[in-house]
Structure 1
Amino acid sequence: MPAYHSAFNEVPDVRQVGNMSVLPIKTRIRGPALVADPSEADIIDETLDLFRANSLFRNFEIKGPADRLLIVLILFISDCLAKLGASRAVPGQIEATKSLNTLAVDNFPIPGDANFVLNAHYAPPASRADAEYLRQYLSQVRQELAARLVERLYADGTGKPSKWWMSFQKRRFMQRSLAT
């Protein structure tokens, strides 16, 4: 059975940096991303929906530039769950929000950097300006993804993260991690 691919691969006229799509998102966080239609799903919704199914796969055939963004976001969710699972006590929603927001804004490698784990599959940005734009975009997307992930983790109102999500904390999509 093949992995699930992004529906945004077919969207025309999408800006690309390197060979990764820069898609609009629904967000209140400041950054360079275009604002998506609030009534439609964006790449973050799609990533959250496909994470658990795709994290079971060791291989992923890249079918377009949106798949490259999907891979980076799925790996970021894995790192978020691993960070929450590594804490000594079960974090509450506020602690989880703080922890994941810190992880989202920490310095992270982008395609083309020496310590980016998937450099073989990603083209580096063409210029320094493109690299800075991509870093700002990914930072904004990571912050929004972390906020929406916390909402899903604590949706049941018990104050504890969902066991159905936390069961994936040790799973590694494609046997990789963005953590350096």
Structure 2
Amino acid sequence: MPAYHSSFNPEKDDTGKEIGGRCIANMALLPVKTSFRGPAPKATGDDNDIIDETMGFFKANVFFKSYEVKGSADRVLIYLTLYISECLKKLQKGPKKRDAEKQLQTLAVSGFDIPGDSGFPLNEFYAKPSSRGDQDQMRQYITQLRQETSLRLVEKVYGSDDQPSKWWICFTKKKFMDKSLSGPGK
């Protein structure tokens, strides 16, 4: 069975080049349902966004050791899948829901590598931002995605309980593509 790919991948022309859609380097700048500030366009309506899609595919995709990138939205999906894995590691110790919210919001805004940085684990899939402005915009976009993902993940993992769901926490040992955003030994 193949891995799940993003439905937000732009269409391609006859040469294989993506048609339309905004990108930072080669990572899609997708609409997101969020109240956090950042460069992502505001999503309208009740349709799923890339964060909903990633959470829906997470439990299936996390088992894959390789992943074929089919478009710029897949790069967002890959990043968010790895970020969700990092979040689940934080929730593994079973903090109460309120503490989990604080921990994940801190994780969302704490220092992190972006594509092109030497510590970024998937540089082979991402283009380095071409200018300082693009670097800043990518960092803001990733921060915005991380903040919203953290918020939604707490709701998904905890629901109305004060303890994390074992059906989410059981995925803490899985490494999507054998990679981790925190690097080896962290």
TM-score band w.r.t. shorter chain? over 0.9
Q: Distance in 2 between matches of 1:151 and 1:84?
A: 12
Partner in structure 2 of residue 27 of structure 1: 34
1:166 maps to 2:166: no
Partner in structure 2 of residue 7 of structure 1: 7
Long gaps (5+) in structure 1: none
28-37 or 43-52: which moved more? 28-37
Measured after TM superposition, the shift of residue 10 of structure 1 is: 2.9
Q: How far apart are the structure 1 equivalents of 2:106 and 2:43?
A: 25
Q: Distance in 2 between matches of 1:61 and 1:74?
A: 14
Corresponding residue for residue 99 of structure 2: 95
CA apart distance, 1:158: 2.5
Amino acid at match of 2:53: E
SS at match of 1:41: coil
* Residue equivalent to 2:180: 177
Given the two structures, how large is their TM-score scaled by the length of structure 2?
Answer: 0.92
Deviation at 1:80, TM superposition (A): 0.4
Tell me which residue corresponds to 2:131: 127
Provide runs of 4+ in structure 1 moved above 6 Å. none
* 1:39 partner SS: coil
Choose between structure 1 and 2: higher helix proportion. Answer: 1
Q: Quick one: distance in 2 between partners of 1:103 and 1:113?
A: 18
Q: Deviation of residue 160 (structure 1)?
A: 0.7
Give how far 1:17 is off. 1.1
What's 1:17 paired with? Answer: 24
Shift of 1:18: 1.2
> What is the count of residue pairs matched by the alignment?
176
Q: How does 1:144-159 map to 2 (within 5 A)?
A: 144-155=148-159, 157-159=160-162
Identity %: 52
Q: CA deviation at 1:75?
A: 0.1
CA distance in 1, matches of 2:105, 2:23: 26
Shift in Å, 1:14 = 1.5
- Measured against aligned partners, the alpha-carbon deviations of 1:5-58 in whole angstroms (never above 9, x if no partner) come to 000003652211111101010001112211001311100000110101100111
| Preserved contact between residue 10 and residue 21 of structure 2 (Cα < 8 Å) | no
Aligned equivalents of 1:133, 1:166: Cα separation in 2: 32
The Cα RMSD (Å) is 1.1
38-47 vs 7-16, which deviates more?
Answer: 7-16
Task: Note the 1:68-147 alignment, pairs <5 A.
Answer: 68-85=75-92, 87=93, 90-147=94-151
The amino acid across from 1:28 in the alignment is: S
Structure 2: gaps spanning 5 or more residues: 12-18
Are the counterparts in 1 of residues 32 and 50 from structure 2 also a CA contact under 8 Å? yes
Partners of 2:67 and 2:180 in 1: how far apart? 14
* Partner-residue secondary structure (3-state), 1:114: coil
